[in-house]
Homo-oligomer: A and B are copies of this chain.
Amino acid sequence: MHDAAPFLSDNAAPVHPAVWEAMCAADSADSPYDGDRLSAQLDERFSDLFGRECAGLWTATGTSANCLALATMCPPHGGVICHEEAHIEVDEGGAPGFYLHGAKLMLAKGEHAKLSPESIAALIDPIRDDVHQVQPHAIALTQASEYGCTYNESELASLRAFADERGLGIHMDGARFANAAAFLGGDARAAARHAARGVDSLAFGFIKNGAMSAEAIVLFDPEQAALVRYRRKRAGHLQCKGRYLAAQILAMLEDDLWLANAAHANAAAREVAGGCGERLLHPVEANELFVALSPAERETLREQGFAFYDWGAHAARFVAAWDTRQEDATALGKAIAGL
């Protein structure tokens, strides 16, 4: 295998050549911060992709993208509903508490780490409408979910209807948005629009999908962009050579590279899934697999050179990336099938 740790994670994969190229092409002085010619194109490019007017801002991490977007919809004394296994709850070091000034994450349940109107209602219906209890202001979905599952258009539509009824905003953590969109299908515009249907903001992830250090905050209410710009600076995320981040995003959007890379990773995951049979703990709808494996079985796989994280005592997580080689995926599928 060309990679020391195939299937360990997509978050440490190399940078795609087209992204490198775009960064190098940005290497003459331009206006600092986001005043450069490349950053200026983002609003239009995302508006075109999503088919509705939106603002697109770069930031260096998914954590900051999620938190900056959430801060547009939840005041410090409010709450954000998310799945109890959501990344913002489990793995962002308390960043939402920092960016939202102490606002509360309200934890709902749901299969495959997905939320539904029913699971959210079960959480918030008991909340008394008084000042003693934190009131929900927003929902944070993850597309694809922590377990690599996707929300389809109809699920998103019913979440939107529910949110409207309850006066809640919807943010989408799209660290693997591209993988979800590729699964939902269609050309780039169709896939993007389906996958983000009805949300107010999207943290559109590029780093796991071939970029180096640029995610996009997409705000479907462009009036929120000014707020996010102030907050981004205040959080120390306004890089002075921002053109290198814009270049990455533009390269990923160019010729729909984002979708092609994600489709590649998804295909590799499906290839592996072919060998997993009943071992699969969740449908494989993106580029992640959660596979029931005993400690001994995991040991065997590791001896064969495969890398992955344990997922509790009885399972493992495998992640395919934009650069996963077909032969590695085939080999892993076979290895699991042969256990």
Contacts and interface: CB of A to CB of B under 8 A. Distances in A.
Interface of A: 3-5, 8-9, 11-15, 20, 24, 27-32, 36, 59-65, 67, 75-79, 90-104, 131-135, 207-208, 212-213, 227, 229-241, 244-245
A15 B27 contact: yes
A60 B241 CA distance: 10
A64 B77 CA distance: 16
A97 B93 contact: no
Contact of A102 (B32, B102, B230, B237): B102
A29 B4 CA distance: 7
Contacts of A208: 240
Contact of A213 (B4, B79, B213): B213
Contacts of A5: 29, 31
A57 to B, nearest CB: 11
A102 B59 CA distance: 22
A76 B94 CA distance: 9
Given A93-B233, A94-B103, A134-B94, A32 B9 contact: yes
A96 B231 CA distance: 12
A103 B92 contact: no
A208 B32 CA distance: 11
What are the 10 A-B residue pairs with the smallest beta carbon separation, nearest first? Answer: A97-B102, A64-B236, A63-B236, A93-B233, A12-B32, A131-B233, A11-B240, A101-B101, A93-B234, A94-B134
A257 to B, nearest CB: 17
Q: For the complex formed by this chain, how many copies does it contain in all?
A: 4
A21 to B, nearest CB: 12
A101 B98 CA distance: 7
Contact of A239 (B101, B213, B244): B213
A8 B13 CA distance: 37
A12 B104 CA distance: 28
Contacts of A104: 94, 97
A308 B81 CA distance: 31
A236 to B, nearest CB: 3
A90 B132 CA distance: 8
Nearest to A307: B29
A78 B331 CA distance: 43
A22 to B, nearest CB: 13
Contacts of A77: 93-94, 98, 230-231, 234
Contacts of A8: 29
A173 to B, nearest CB: 13
B11 A93 contact: no
Given A64-B236, A91-B132, 5 more contacts: A5-B31, A91-B133, A207-B240, A213-B245, A235-B236
Contact of A29 (B14, B61, B67, B132): B14
Nearest to A66: B236
A95 B77 CA distance: 8
B95 A97 contact: no
A101 B94 CA distance: 11
A38 to B, nearest CB: 12
Given A67-B236, A235-B236, A76 B61 contact: no
